Structure 1
Amino acid sequence: MKMLFKRYKYFLALLVVNIVVYSLYPSVGQKSIDITWSNTVEMLSVIPPIFILLGLLDVWVQRETMIKLMGEKSGILGILIAFFLGSAAAGPLYAAFPIAGVLLQKGSKFSNVLIFIGAWSTTKIPMLLFEASSMGWKFMMTRFVIDIPGIMLIAYITERLLNEKEKQYIHDQAAGSK
């Protein structure tokens, strides 16, 4: 029981806060409940397909193949695949992290995984099309052209700043999430 409480302490604390807010300010409390419900429905619609894709990626793609395509010696091909996977993705950024964990487990280069996360967060194709239609092609292309070297620079600087022990810790965390 103590372990269960420890695991869900933040959820329980927020539940208590919501109950207090609802009892003191019913309209604010109702809005909070509505937002919580909306977020829960969104997560339930996004997470199951992500885990299905993760399972398929884990089973269908051999570690040797991933090392060849996105590993330490993958070069420009690994970078392009990371950008494509991140840009072609749909869904919120929190869905990228389990996929990044599987990529690390399969032997992808750390900077390629960071490029994947960066591309997911800033260069998704649906987002680019929305930007082009609402803000214009010039704005969209300018931002896209700036984002690509920015993502790569951040990925490579991060990889260089982390020592081997820190990288191993991240790999161990990814392996433990399986």
Structure 2
Amino acid sequence: MDVRKALKRWRTAMASLFIAAVLSVAFPRAGREALSLLGMNVGTILGILPPVFVLLGLFDAWVPRERVAPHLGETSGLKGVILAILLGASSAGPLYIAFPVAEVMIRKGTSLRNAFIFLGAWSTMRVPMILFEIQNLGAIFALSRYGASLAGVLLMGAFMERVLGPKDREDILARFAEHRAG
């Protein structure tokens, strides 16, 4: 990471904390509640991220590119799309976990189209979500929403593949390769 970018992020975080501290003095009850919520959120994230990164590291080290690329790569066709949807829909955990997973998938040879489909399916088509909706909102609504999400995920994957020309795709993949090497 560029040192200037890191410093800018650090300054932004410190400015945010300063503003929160000033507001906490003016509104002590809200400040205590905000601090409590911050602690809970940081605890949740720290409970989730380390195991995920360990598993991703093991996947990255143990699974060769030759095992992933035929199933999710540029030549995978409909099989790759279906697999990306199934992987995203059967996921567990918050969306911020999906991005490092997608990065490792791309480094292992997954096409950008299938990575976008995976991210879309993770965010909108998870199985526990549809089960909750069927139980609480009714099957017609839940299945309609799921069908609309499926159509949207497929359209977004195709749209992103079309919008990103060959040069853009090469640049993105080169960044992942550069990250892998360095």
Cα displacement (A) at 1:111: 0.4
Q: 1:52 and 2:48 equivalent?
A: no
TM-score by length of 1: 0.91
Whether the 8 Å contact between 1:101 and 1:177 is mirrored in structure 2 is no
Q: What is aligned with 1:82?
A: 84
Q: 1:35 and 2:37 equivalent?
A: yes
Structure 1 residue matching 2:174: 3-state secondary structure: helix
Question: Which whole-Å CA distance do the structure 1 matches of 2:121 and 2:96 have between them?
Answer: 13
Question: Which whole-Å CA distance do the structure 1 matches of 2:90 and 2:59 have between them?
Answer: 16
Cα displacement (A) at 1:3: 8.2
Cα displacement (A) at 1:80: 1.4
1:16-65 CA-to-partner distances (Å, cap 9, x unmatched) read: 11111111110111121112112111211221222122112212221011
Question: Which whole-Å CA distance do the structure 1 matches of 2:69 and 2:162 have between them?
Answer: 20
Matches within 5 A, 1:1-178: 5-176=7-178
Structure 1 segments of 4+ aligned residues over 2 angstroms from their partners: 1-7, 168-178
Cα displacement (A) at 1:4: 6.5
1:145–1:53 CA distance, 2 compared to 1 (3 A): same
1:2–1:123 CA distance, 2 compared to 1 (3 A): closer
Cα displacement (A) at 1:164: 2.1
Cα displacement (A) at 1:110: 0.9
1:35–1:172 CA distance, 2 compared to 1 (3 A): farther
- Percent identical among aligned pairs is 37
**95-104 vs 164-173, which moves further:** 164-173
1:173–1:36 CA distance, 2 compared to 1 (3 A): farther
**Stretches of structure 2 lacking an aligned partner (at least 5 in a row):** none
Number of residues of Structure 1 aligned to a counterpart in Structure 2? 178
**Stretches of structure 1 lacking an aligned partner (at least 5 in a row):** none
